[in-house]
């Protein structure tokens, strides 16, 4: 189950490998894949997924089996990785020149590395808005994988970040859903008095802190300033909203978590399990996790589970209606001799029936195919979350995918340092600005 963001240092390594591998012996580029050719239904088709582990692993296994049944001379080879392992696996396969025919990608700088390295096929002729396949998706989902007017990615599912909570825990504490950031902090003491860890938080992998920060940045920093700061060429990273956001994260960690500055040693899955097991009242999570915390055997039930956006701080200068999130999807290897077959398989994977299957239990991954997520096909929480994602004024991408790798690394280290108390917010901004200078 995904809930992690790619480690920026891995993105940097992938970028370097992609550029290196864009050419073949003698410096001549390998022939580009013909994605518009009629597929030849024979041979092996390799796919790197991020669905390793239960309950998601069976999804691509079912797709592969169904596709092979329709096309008996095709063998689908699945490389199923987990949230964390897919990053290292992608890096290894890229560096060794063994990138599969189809491979998972996040949006932003992560996908751009493969595009710039010539390793992502231009799919514009088959998936751009206005094409038969492209019209299955919303333009926002397709545009998330766009570069220089060309479309490279196949959006598989949408995603957004929300605070998940136990309704019974809130009832036991005698509190309502908070509507401001101060109310969120104030709710923590009565929840603790009622016997719950107010907010479960595990930051061992570093990216969970960045999720809090990016949503707070969207609230505290004017949208045009934030967008400019994502580009090293225009970035300044001087807006006071960044320091305010870092201070707010410190307050949340100190007042609302049982681990405090020790959260850097806690896995995000441990925090996830604390909500699912009824020990914690809240856990900040993605739509992709909603059905995981209420699986069969969990203490938290679907009826008891609720969601709300991270509340907006009073006086915030940014966009109060923004939601942090982005679609996730797949790229087709630009050098694959099976590119046409890869396109055919991904069209198969995004047929409405398969999109509805992906959106429903036990998978609960809200398909990017328009109309696939409904109250009938998905759980209440997933439907509610995706509805809010679709109604948001804007989606703000993950901090470690929308910025340059050097800047993302600085934010990763800065978030951990602020949580541990070893660095001040102002010092974090200084390191981010220094990293941005080196990225120019």
* Count of the separate structural domains present in the chain: 2
DSSP bridge partners of 103: 48, 331
In a domain, 342, yes or no: yes
Q: Do 68 and 45 share a structural domain?
A: yes
Q: Report the range of poorest mean pLDDT among 12-16, 262-266, 295-299.
A: 12-16
pLDDT of residue 31: 61
What pLDDT shows up at residue 390? 84
Q: Is 332 found in the same domain as 309?
A: no
Same structural domain, 145 and 278? no
Q: Are residues 194 and 334 in the same domain?
A: no
**Same domain assignment for residues 409 and 278:** yes
pLDDT at 28: 42
Residues 151 and 112 in one domain: yes
Exposed e or buried b per residue across 137-166, where buried means at least 16 C-beta atoms within 10 angstroms of its C-beta: bbebbbebbbeeeebbbbbbbbbbbbbbbb
**pLDDT for 75-96, tens place per residue?**
999 999 987 799 899 999 999 9
Given the structure tokens 């108390």, which residue do they identify? 421
Please indicate, yes or no, whether residues 93 and 197 belong to a single structural domain of this protein.
no
Which among 332, 334, 352 has a CA at the least distance from the CA of 342?
332
Do 66 and 180 fall within a single domain? Answer: no
State the pLDDT confidence band at 36, using cuts at 50, 70 and 90: very high
Identify whether residues 292 and 351 lie together within a single domain: no
C-alpha 23/C-alpha 18 separation (Å) is 9
In a domain, 108, yes or no: yes
Task: Provide the residue range defining the domain that includes 198.
Answer: 161-323+398-439
Confidence of residue 14 (pLDDT cuts 50, 70, 90): low
pLDDT, residue 140, reads: 82
The confidence score (pLDDT) of residue 69 equals 98
Q: Is there a domain that residue 224 lies in?
A: yes
CATH number at residue 339: 3.40.190.10
CB 194 within 8 A of CB 284: no
The per-residue pLDDT for range 93-131, each reduced to its tens digit, is 999 999 999 999 999 888 998 999 999 999 999 999 999
Cα pseudo-dihedral 123, 128, 132, 137, rounded to 10: 110
CA distances from 1 to 5, 164, 182, 263, 293 (A): 12, 16, 32, 21, 11
pLDDT tens figures, 268-287: 999 999 999 999 999 999 99
Q: Report yes or no on 53 lying in a domain.
A: yes
User: Are the CB atoms for 164 and 290 separated by under 8 Å?
Assistant: yes
> What does the alpha-carbon distance between residue 96 and residue 104 come to, in Å, rounded to a whole number?
17
Are 194 and 101 contained in the same domain? no
298 lies in some domain = yes
The confidence score (pLDDT) of residue 25 equals 32
Rounded Cα gap, residues 398 and 213, in angstroms:
10
List phi, psi (to 5°) of 213. -60, -45
Provide mean pLDDT across the span 201-206.
Answer: 95
């Amino acid at each position: 189950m995904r809930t992690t963001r790619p480690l920026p240092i891995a993105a940097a390594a992938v970028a370097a490998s992609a550029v290196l591998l864009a050419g073949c012996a003698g410096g001549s580029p390998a022939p580009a894949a013909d994605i518009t050719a009629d597929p030849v239904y024979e041979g092996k088709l390799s796919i790197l997924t991020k669905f390793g582990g239960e309950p998601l692993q069976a999804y691509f296994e079912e797709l592969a089996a169904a596709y092979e049944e329709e096309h008996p001379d095709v063998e689908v080879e699945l490389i199923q990785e987990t949230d964390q392992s897919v990053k290292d696996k992608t890096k290894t396969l890229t560096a060794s020149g063994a990138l599969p025919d189809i491979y998972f990608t996040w949006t932003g700088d992560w996908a751009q590395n493969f595009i710039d390295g010539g390793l992502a096929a231009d799919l514009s002729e088959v998936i751009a808005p206005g094409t038969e396949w492209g019209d299955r998706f919303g333009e926002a989902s397709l545009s998330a994988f766009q570069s220089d007017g060309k479309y490279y990615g196949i959006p598989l599912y949408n995603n957004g970040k929300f605070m998940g909570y136990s309704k019974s825990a809130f009832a036991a504490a005698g509190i309502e859903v908070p509507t401001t950031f101060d109310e969120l902090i104030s709710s923590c003491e009565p929840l603790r008095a009622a016997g719950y860890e107010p907010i479960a938080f595990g930051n061992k992998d570093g990216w969970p802190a960045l999720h809090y920060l990016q949503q707070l940045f969207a609230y505290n920093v004017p949208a045009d300033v934030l967008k400019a700061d994502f580009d090293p060429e225009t970035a300044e990273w001087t807006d006071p909203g960044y320091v305010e956001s870092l201070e707010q994260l410190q307050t949340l960690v100190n007042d609302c978590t049982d681990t405090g500055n020790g959260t850097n040693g806690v896995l995000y899955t441990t925090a996830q399990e604390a909500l699912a097991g009824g020990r914690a009242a809240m856990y900040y999570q993605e739509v992709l996790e909603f059905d995981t915390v209420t699986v069969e055997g969990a203490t938290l039930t679907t009826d008891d589970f609720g969601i709300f956006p991270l509340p907006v701080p009073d006086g915030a200068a940014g966009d109060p209606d923004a939601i942090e999130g982005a679609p996730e999807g797949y790229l087709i290897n630009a050098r694959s001799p099976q590119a046409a077959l890869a396109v055919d398989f991904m069209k198969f994977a995004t047929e409405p029936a398969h999109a509805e299957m992906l959106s429903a239990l036990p998978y609960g991954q809200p398909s990017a195919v328009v109309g696939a997520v409904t109250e009938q096909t998905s759980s209440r929480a997933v439907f509610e979350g995706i509805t809010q994602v679709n109604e948001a004024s804007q989606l703000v991408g993950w901090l470690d995918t929308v910025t340059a790798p050097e800047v993302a690394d600085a934010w990763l280290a800065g978030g951990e340092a602020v949580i541990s108390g070893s660095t001040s917010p102002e010092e974090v901004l200084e390191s981010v600005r220094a990293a941005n200078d080196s990225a120019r």
